[in-house]
């Protein structure tokens, strides 16, 4: 009996794949779009599931295999997937034809999973209104007011570095800095050093994957319907503590006269304006403490790891490139000497070469290795005249585009001059996307840049970096989206300043 069911199931699955295959290959092959079948016809799904390569490296193989085409069709198990190559189509799905691609395709149960009810996971009117109301919280004026927190965070971090044993796990050390800095930016500075914040422990635990959390994410991925039906909460373990903390902070802010300019403070301003309302659609949301907590939570899930990855690879590439390292040190030292140790927000903004170094590090090693959009209404991509059906997942292979010699000659070479104004002008648009593109682009980009840069400026004032991996080809660890290295490292060495 069991065997009978098993055989039927297998026949059914392969039959389904076969039919789907015909549908997909027919519509797409007519337009000259190659189809990547992968193992057992399951696209790259099987390869990713059973192999040890990160997803973006599988995309990269597919991207390189097919030369001059606007896109490659494939699937992840049964889901049709389109991998884009052409920048104009990338423009179309991220901005031009946004209505058909307004979602990323990740699922959460926002009604019960309170912390997941944030801009990163929301969709439709709810996303639009919330993003609209929170965008003004990330202007340069707001960030300038917040700078004192980043300055303090960077100094506390350098103080900590002087006290501990360095170079045991530098990625972990940088994540600790990013968690602490984000905690301070969201909840304010509550302890003598931000590194002593009681929230730090929680922040670190939240993002250490456990068997249970992996299982939940896997189910969210495998079957949206089942995941919704079971009302699974991805972030339930942290919900009470996180919301409780935020409620206390918000209450304290309501009673206090002092403006602290951190995110909690800004949430109070949003709440003061009463119900959030979209004038066009009439859609309304009550800005409750819970909703504010969920937005605060996106700083942690969307912000901490990619910032740490960006710092890690910037330092690693500096260690590998002594000439560039020297120029960065000179630039930073000049600022410190002029300002007698007191680096202001304006000083940070004036440090230009380091910007280019960070940009180039995020080209070579984009912390978020690809972008995702889900098609929600049938449409046609302009270049190649490619029909895309509702339900299809469209991927923008950030890593591969960042390494396409058409846009970046000698892509393996680390060269910050790719980001001079002149060089940027000469490149086609939509070929650089560490923070994504279009309407759903990273909301925290400016915040992240300032935090990463301020951290690096203070660290590089006191430390230099060295590596034994001068010519090692970087290998990346298997991970769904984020990019982490397997086989390379660098060490901090204290500088002798007089
Ligand atoms: C170096 C650090 C960071 C990198 C590389 C990064 C990158 C990204 C990328 C690639 C996306 C997807 C964009 C798309 O689909 O087009 C994204 C979305 C987002 N990021 Fe970041 N991010 C960083 C830091 C942060 C920080 C610190 C915050 C919080 C303050 C943040 C908040 C968000 C939010 C809210 C979204 C979702 C936007 C939406 O769906 O409307 N990010 N980020
Ligand atoms: C930066 O931090 C130092 C040490 O905590 C403080 O003395 C200085 O005033 C801060 N500067 C700014 C611009 O916030
Ligand atoms: C599931 O994960 C695969 C790769 O792991 C990804 O390509 C696909 O878009 C995901 N599907 C959903 C529905 O999230």
Measured in Å, residue 443 CA sits from the centre of ligand 1 at: 6
What are the pLDDT tens digits along the chain (498 aa)? 788 888 888 888 777 777 776 776 667 888 889 999 888 777 888 888 888 999 999 999 999 999 899 999 998 877 889 999 999 999 999 999 999 999 999 888 888 899 999 999 999 999 999 999 999 999 999 999 999 999 999 999 999 999 999 999 999 999 999 999 999 999 998 888 888 877 777 777 766 667 777 777 777 777 787 778 878 888 888 888 899 999 999 999 999 989 999 999 999 999 999 999 999 999 999 999 999 999 999 999 899 999 999 999 999 999 999 999 999 999 999 999 999 878 999 999 999 999 999 999 999 999 999 999 999 999 999 999 999 999 999 999 999 999 999 999 999 999 999 999 999 999 999 999 999 999 999 999 999 999 999 999 999 999 999 999 999 999 999 877 778 898 999 999 999 876
Axis-axis angle for helices 170-187, 445-462 (nearest 10): 130
Facing residues of 396 across strands?
371
Q: Does ligand 3 come within 6 angstroms of the Cβ of 55? A: yes
The SS3 call for residue 166 is coil
Stated as kind and residue range, the H or E segment containing 285 is: strand 284-285
Any idea which residue has 């449409």 for tokens? 379
Stated as kind and residue range, the H or E segment containing 464 is: strand 463-466
pLDDT score for 142 = 95
Three-state SS letters, 75-123: EECCEEEEEECCHHHHHHHHHHCHHHCCECCCCCCCCCCHHHCCCCCCC
Q: Return d(Cα 348, Cα 354) in angstroms, integer.
A: 10
pLDDT score for 1 = 77
**Structure-block tokens of residue 124:** 């439709």
Q: Return d(Cα 74, Cα 394) in angstroms, integer.
A: 10
**Pair 216, 94: CB distance under 8 Å:** no
pLDDT score for 213 = 76
Any idea which residue has 């070579």 for tokens? 364
Q: Does ligand 1 come within 6 angstroms of the Cβ of 455? A: no
Q: Return d(Cα 161, Cα 492) in angstroms, integer.
A: 9
The SS3 call for residue 228 is helix
Contacts of 418 (CB under 8 A, 6+ apart): 356, 359, 360, 363, 408
Facing residues of 3 across strands?
none
Measured in Å, residue 305 CA sits from the centre of ligand 2 at: 26
Question: Atom 7 of ligand 1 has which residue's CA nearest to it?
Answer: 435
Facing residues of 72 across strands?
83
pLDDT score for 353 = 98
**Structure-block tokens of residue 12:** 């059914």
Q: Does ligand 1 come within 6 angstroms of the Cβ of 370? A: no
Q: Does ligand 2 come within 6 angstroms of the Cβ of 221? A: no
**Structure-block tokens of residue 262:** 């951190």
Question: Atom 2 of ligand 3 has which residue's CA nearest to it?
Answer: 221
Q: Return d(Cα 265, Cα 24) in angstroms, integer.
A: 51
Measured in Å, residue 441 CA sits from the centre of ligand 1 at: 7
Indicate which atom in ligand 2 lies nearest the CA of residue 148: 14
Strands 386-388 and 379-381: antiparallel
Question: Atom 12 of ligand 2 has which residue's CA nearest to it?
Answer: 148
Measured in Å, residue 75 CA sits from the centre of ligand 3 at: 10
Q: Does ligand 3 come within 6 angstroms of the Cβ of 59? A: no
Q: First and final CA of the chain: distance in angstroms?
A: 81
Facing residues of 386 across strands?
381
Residue 375's nearest CA partner among 362, 356, 388 is 388
Indicate which atom in ligand 1 lies nearest the CA of residue 372: 15
- CB count in 10 Å sphere of residue 404: 17
Facing residues of 82 across strands?
73, 394
Q: Does ligand 2 come within 6 angstroms of the Cβ of 151? A: yes
Question: Atom 20 of ligand 1 has which residue's CA nearest to it?
Answer: 442
Counting every residue written for the chain, the total comes to 498
Whether pTM exceeds 0.75: yes
**Structure-block tokens of residue 339:** 């300002």
Angle at 7 between CA 3 and CA 11, to 5 degrees: 170
Q: Return d(Cα 150, Cα 455) in angstroms, integer.
A: 8
Question: Atom 19 of ligand 1 has which residue's CA nearest to it?
Answer: 442
Measured in Å, residue 148 CA sits from the centre of ligand 2 at: 6
Q: Does ligand 3 come within 6 angstroms of the Cβ of 76? A: yes
Q: Does ligand 1 come within 6 angstroms of the Cβ of 444? A: yes
Q: Return d(Cα 59, Cα 153) in angstroms, integer.
A: 37
Burial class (CB in 10 A: 0-12, 13-18, 19+), 301: middle
Q: Does ligand 2 come within 6 angstroms of the Cβ of 144? A: no
**Structure-block tokens of residue 463:** 């430390």
């Amino acid at each position: 009996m069991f065997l009978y069911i098993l055989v039927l199931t297998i026949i059914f699955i392969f039959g389904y794949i076969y039919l789907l295959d015909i549908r997909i290959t027919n519509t797409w092959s007519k337009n000259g779009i190659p189809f990547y079948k992968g193992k057992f016809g399951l696209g790259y799904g099987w390869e990713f599931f059973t192999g040890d390569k990160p997803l973006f490296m599988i995309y990269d193989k597919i991207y390189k295999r097919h030369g001059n085409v606007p896109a490659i069709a494939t699937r992840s198990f049964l889901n049709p997937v389109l991998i884009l190559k052409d920048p104009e189509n990338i423009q179309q799905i991220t901005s031009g034809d946004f209505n058909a691609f307004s979602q990323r395709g990740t699922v959460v149960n926002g009604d019960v999973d309170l912390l997941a009810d944030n801009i990163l996971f929301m969709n439709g009117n709810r996303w639009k209104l919330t993003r609209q109301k929170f965008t003004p919280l990330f202007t340069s004026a707001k960030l300038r007011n917040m700078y004192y927190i980043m300055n303090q965070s960077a100094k506390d971090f350098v103080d900590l570095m002087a006290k501990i044993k360095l170079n045991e796990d530098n990625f972990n050390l940088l994540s600790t800095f990013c968690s602490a800095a984000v905690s301070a930016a969201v909840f304010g500075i509550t302890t003598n050093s931000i590194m002593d914040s009681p929230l730090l422990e929680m922040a670190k635990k939240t993002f250490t994957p456990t068997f249970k959390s992996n299982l939940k994410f896997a189910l969210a991925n495998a079957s949206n319907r089942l995941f919704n039906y079971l009302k699974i909460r991805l972030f339930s373990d942290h919900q009470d503590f996180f919301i409780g903390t935020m409620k206390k902070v918000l209450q304290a802010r309501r009673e206090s006269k002092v403006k602290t300019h951190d995110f909690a403070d800004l949430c109070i301003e949003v709440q003061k304006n009463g119900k959030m309302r979209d004038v066009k659609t009439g859609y309304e949301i009550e800005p409750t403490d819970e909703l504010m907590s969920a937005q605060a939570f996106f700083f942690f899930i969307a912000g901490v790891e990619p910032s740490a990855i960006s710092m890690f690879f910037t330092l690693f590439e500096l260690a590998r490139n002594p000439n560039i390292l020297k120029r960065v040190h000179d630039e930073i030292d000049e600022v410190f000497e002029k300002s007698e140790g007191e680096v202001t927000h304006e000083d940070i903004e004036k440090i230009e070469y380091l910007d280019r170094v960070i940009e180039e590090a995020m080209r070579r090693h984009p912390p978020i290795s690809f972008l995702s959009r889900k098609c929600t209404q049938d449409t046609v991509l302009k270049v190649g005249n490619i029909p895309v059906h509702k339900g299809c997942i469209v991927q923008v292979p950030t890593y591969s585009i960042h390494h396409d010699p058409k846009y970046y000659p000698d892509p393996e070479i680390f060269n910050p001059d790719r980001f001079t104004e002149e060089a940027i002008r000469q490149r086609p648009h939509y070929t650089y996307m560490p923070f994504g593109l279009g309407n759903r682009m990273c909301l925290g980009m400016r915040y992240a840049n300032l935090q990463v840069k301020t951290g690096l400026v203070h660290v590089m004032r006191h430390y230099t970096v060295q590596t034994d991996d001068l010519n090692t080809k970087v290998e990346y660890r298997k991970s769904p989206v984020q990019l982490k290295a397997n086989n390379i490292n660098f060490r901090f060495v204290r500088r002798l300043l007089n």
